[in-house]
């Protein structure tokens, strides 16, 4: 995988469906903007490519394809996502924060009995984030949160499925640099404060010498 060679910083926030990653992405964006950074937030799968639109139909169980074909769609959508949005903004020096990235493919694809090594190989030519935060929330808590939203569950939003997904997520820090798992079951503000500390210590402390956590 390719380390980020651009001026900007690239961060991903990951977790099971219902773990709260979307909420944290919004807070991260506001925090960085307040501290003078140009920030782009984005999400995978995208809705800006043919592959992304097909993925959405599969996740909403409006069409069926094989798990392998689904992962190829994710990879194609990710390729376009990088080329059209992520890399151009990193080149400009922006901070790009993605709600999900290829770690989701590794975790959810593995839950469909696709080998982790083959999933990594499929994504091997893509940028690896400078920092990835994975929110640890028990599957039953995630399902409860999803149900409270009042929206229909998608393909992977079942307790047994999410338990399999998490087994892969929890080994990611051993396989990749700059991947950190934190407790996502605490109050939103506590989770965010820990993320701020991690952003500062991992991405900005040496370069800028400013304590953004105060």
Per-residue pLDDT tens digits for 100-114: 999 999 999 999 999
DSSP state string for 57-111: HHHTTSS---HHHHHHHHHHHHHHHIIIIIHHHHHTT-EEEEES-HHHHHHHHHT
- Pairing status of strand 127-128 against strand 179-183: unpaired
Residue 74: how many other CB atoms lie within 10 Å = 26
| 9-58 pLDDT per residue, tens | 999 999 999 999 999 999 999 999 998 999 999 999 999 899 999 999 99
How many whole angstroms separate alpha carbon 173 and alpha carbon 181?
8
What pLDDT is recorded for position 69? Answer: 97
What pLDDT is recorded for position 148? Answer: 83
CATH architecture group of domain 7-206: 3-Layer(aba) Sandwich (3.40)
| 64-84 pLDDT per residue, tens | 999 999 999 999 999 999 999
């Amino acid at each position: 995988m390719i380390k980020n060679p651009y001026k900007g910083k690239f961060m991903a926030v990951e977790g099971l469906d219902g773990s709260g990653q979307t909420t944290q992405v919004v807070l991260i964006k506001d925090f960085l903007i307040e501290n003078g950074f140009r920030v782009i937030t984005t999400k995978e799968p995208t809705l800006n490519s043919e592959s992304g639109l097909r993925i959405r139909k599969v996740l909403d169980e409006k069409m069926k394809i094989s798990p392998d074909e689904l992962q190829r769609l994710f990879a194609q959508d990710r390729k376009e996502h990088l080329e059209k949005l992520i890399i151009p903004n990193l080149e400009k020096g922006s901070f790009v924060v993605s709600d999900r990235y290829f770690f989701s493919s590794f975790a959810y694809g593995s839950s469909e009995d696709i080998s982790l090594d083959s999933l990594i190989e499929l994504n091997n030519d893509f940028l690896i984030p400078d920092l990835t935060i994975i929110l640890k929330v028990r599957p039953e808590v995630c399902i409860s949160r999803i149900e409270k939203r009042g929206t229909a569950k998608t393909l992977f939003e079942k307790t047994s499925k999410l338990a399999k997904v998490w087994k892969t997520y929890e080994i990611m820090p051993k396989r990749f640099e700059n991947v950190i798992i934190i407790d996502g079951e605490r109050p939103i503000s506590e989770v965010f404060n820990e993320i701020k500390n991690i952003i500062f210590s991992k991405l900005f402390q040496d370069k800028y010498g400013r304590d953004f956590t105060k």
